[in-house]
C-alpha cells in the first residue's frame, strides 16, 4: 500500500512512538538521578551505576542470565530452524497438524501455564531445579519463535536455486549447507537474537523452573522491585537497554551498509 502520507498518518505514528519510547527514555534519564527519590530530579550522577557494580547478587544474576540466554538461544535456533524446515518443506507427514500446533501454541500460551507445566515435568522426572532446567525451559518456548521467524523466510525462498545446485551436481546435504543455509542465514541470525532476548527477558517461566543458585536477572530485578523502587535497578535497566540498542542498531547499520553497497553495485552494473 502506498498513496499519500497524510498529516493524520504522521501524527498517529509520532504519538504512537512517543507512547512506546517515553517510558524507556524516562527510565534512562532517572538512572542518572542523584536523588534516591525516583521521580524527583536531584541532579546528574552516576552513583547508581557505581553501586550497581558493588552489588554482587545482581552481577551473579546477570552472569547466570547471559549463560542461560546464550546456550538456550543457540539450541533453540537449531531446533527452531529444523522445525521451520519440517513445516515448510514437508506438507504431509503423520501428525503434522499436531506438530504445527505445538510450534504455534507456545507463542500465545500464558507463561504461567508453560512455567508450571515444565516445572511439574522436571519434578516428575526427578531433575533438580537449577541452571539446566531453566535452560531447557527457555529452549522449549524460544524455539517456537525461531521457527516462526525462519519459516517466514523459507516461504519466500526460491526453490529453483536448490534445483540448480543439484543439477550442477551438488548432493542434497551439500546443497543445504552451501545454498539453502547461506540464503536463510539472516533469518536464522535474527531468530537467535530473538531467542536470546526472550531468554534474557523472561521472569515467569524462570521463576517456576529455576532453583537455588540459578537466580536470573529478571528474578532479581522483580524481587527488588517488589520491595520498592530502587535507582540501582534503573541503572541496571539502562545498561540492558543500551546493550540491546547497540546490538540492534549495529545489526541494522551493517544491513544498511550492505544494502547501499548492493544498490551501488547494481547501478554500476547498469552503467557498463
Partner 1 sequence: MAETTANTASVGSVQSETSGMGRSILGAITNRLVIIVPYLWLLFFFLVPFAIVFKISLSQTAISMPPYTPVFGFDNFLESVRDLSFDNYVWLTEDALYFRAYVSSLFIAAVSTLLTLLVGYPIAYGMARAPTAIRPTLLMLVILPFWTSFLIRVYAWIGILKPEGLLNQVLLATGIIDQPLIILNTNIAIFIGIVYSYLPFMVLPLYSALEKMDYSLIEAAQDLGCRPIAAFWKITFPLSLSGVVAGCLLVFIPAVGEFVIPDLLGGSQTLMIGKTLWSEFFNNRDWPVASAVAVILLLILVVPIMFFQSAQARAQEQGRT
Residue in this structure with the C-alpha cell 524446515, named with its chain if needed: 85
Q: Kindly tell me which residue out of 123, 181, 189, 250 binds partner 1, with binding defined by CB under 8 A.
A: 123
* 6 versus 272: smaller Cβ distance to partner 1: 6
Q: Which residues contact 237 (CB under 8 A, 6 or more apart)?
A: 27, 28, 31, 221
Distance of CA 43 to the CA centre of its chain: 35
Cα Rg, the chain, nearest whole Å: 23
Q: Which of residues 165-184 bind partner 1 (CB under 8 A)?
A: 166, 171-173, 175-176, 180
* 58 versus 87: smaller Cβ distance to partner 1: 87
Q: Record the cell numbers describing residue 51, joined without a space.
A: 553501586
What DSSP character marks residue 127? P
- Mapping DSSP to helix (H, G, I), strand (E, B) and coil, where does residue 44 land? strand
Candidates 42-50, 120-128, 181-189, 262-270; binding stretch for partner 1 (CB under 8 A): 120-128
Q: Which of residues 132-161 bind partner 1 (CB under 8 A)?
A: 136-137, 139-140, 143, 147, 151-152, 155-156, 159
Question: Which candidate, 207, 215, 206, 62, places its Cα nearest to that of 139?
Answer: 206
**What is the separation, in whole angstroms, between the first and last Cα of the chain?**
34
Query: Is 80 one of the binding residues for partner 1 (CB under 8 A)?
Result: yes
Give me the DSSP letters along 57-116: HHHHHHHHHHHHHHHHHHHHHHHHHHHHHHHHH-S--TTHHHHHHHHHHHHHS-HHHHHH
Query: Is 9 one of the binding residues for partner 1 (CB under 8 A)?
Result: yes
Q: Kindly tell me which residue out of 34, 59, 66, 85 binds partner 1, with binding defined by CB under 8 A.
A: 85
Query: Is 252 one of the binding residues for partner 1 (CB under 8 A)?
Result: yes
Candidates 50-58, 66-74, 118-126, 262-270; binding stretch for partner 1 (CB under 8 A): 118-126
Shortest Å, Cβ 272 to partner 1 = 26
* 60 versus 170: smaller Cβ distance to partner 1: 170
Shortest Å, Cβ 174 to partner 1 = 10
* 267 versus 272: smaller Cβ distance to partner 1: 267
Shortest Å, Cβ 152 to partner 1 = 7
Task: Tell me if 133 sits within 8 A of 127, measured CB to CB.
Answer: yes
Q: Kindly tell me which residue out of 245, 246, 253, 254 binds partner 1, with binding defined by CB under 8 A.
A: 245
Q: Which of residues 36-65 bind partner 1 (CB under 8 A)?
A: 38-39
Tell me the C-alpha distance between 272 and 180, whole Å. Answer: 31
Shortest Å, Cβ 132 to partner 1 = 13
Amino acid at each position: 500500500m502506498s498513496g499519500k502520507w497524510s498529516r493524520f498518518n504522521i501524527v498517529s505514528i509520532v504519538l504512537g512512538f512517543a507512547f512506546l519510547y517515553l517510558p524507556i527514555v524516562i527510565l534512562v534519564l532517572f538512572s542518572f538521578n542523584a536523588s534516591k527519590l525516583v521521580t524527583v530530579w536531584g541532579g546528574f550522577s552516576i552513583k547508581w551505576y557505581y553501586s550497581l557494580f558493588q552489588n554482587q547478587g545482581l552481577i551473579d544474576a546477570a552472569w547466570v542470565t547471559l549463560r542461560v540466554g546464550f546456550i538456550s538461544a543457540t539450541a533453540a535456533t537449531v531446533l527452531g530452524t529444523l522445525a521451520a524446515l519440517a513445516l515448510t518443506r514437508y506438507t504431509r507427514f503423520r501428525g503434522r497438524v499436531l506438530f504445527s500446533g505445538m510450534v504455534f501454541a507456545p507463542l500465545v500460551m500464558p507463561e504461567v501455564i508453560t512455567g508450571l507445566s515444565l516445572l511439574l515435568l522436571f519434578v516428575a522426572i526427578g531433575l533438580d531445579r537449577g541452571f539446566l532446567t531453566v535452560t531447557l525451559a527457555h529452549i522449549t518456548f524460544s524455539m517456537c519463535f525461531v521457527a516462526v521467524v525462519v519459516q517466514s523466510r523459507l516461504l519466500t525462498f526460491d526453490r529453483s536455486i536448490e534445483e540448480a545446485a543439484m543439477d550442477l551436481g551438488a548432493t542434497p546435504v551439500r546443497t543445504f549447507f552451501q545454498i539453502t543455509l547461506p540464503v536463510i542465514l539472516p533469518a536464522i541470525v535474527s531468530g537467535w537474537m530473538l531467542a536470546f532476548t526472550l531468554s534474557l527477558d523472561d521472569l515467569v517461566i524462570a521463576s517456576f523452573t529455576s532453583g537455588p543458585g540459578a537466580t536470573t536477572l529478571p528474578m532479581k530485578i522483580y524481587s527488588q522491585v517488589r520491595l520498592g523502587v530502587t535507582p540501582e535497578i534503573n541503572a541496571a535497566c539502562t545498561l540492558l537497554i543500551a546493550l540491546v540498542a547497540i546490538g540492534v542498531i549495529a545489526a541494522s547499520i551493517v544491513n544498511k551498509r550492505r544494502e547501499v553497497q548492493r544498490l551501488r553495485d547494481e547501478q554500476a552494473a547498469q552503467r557498463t
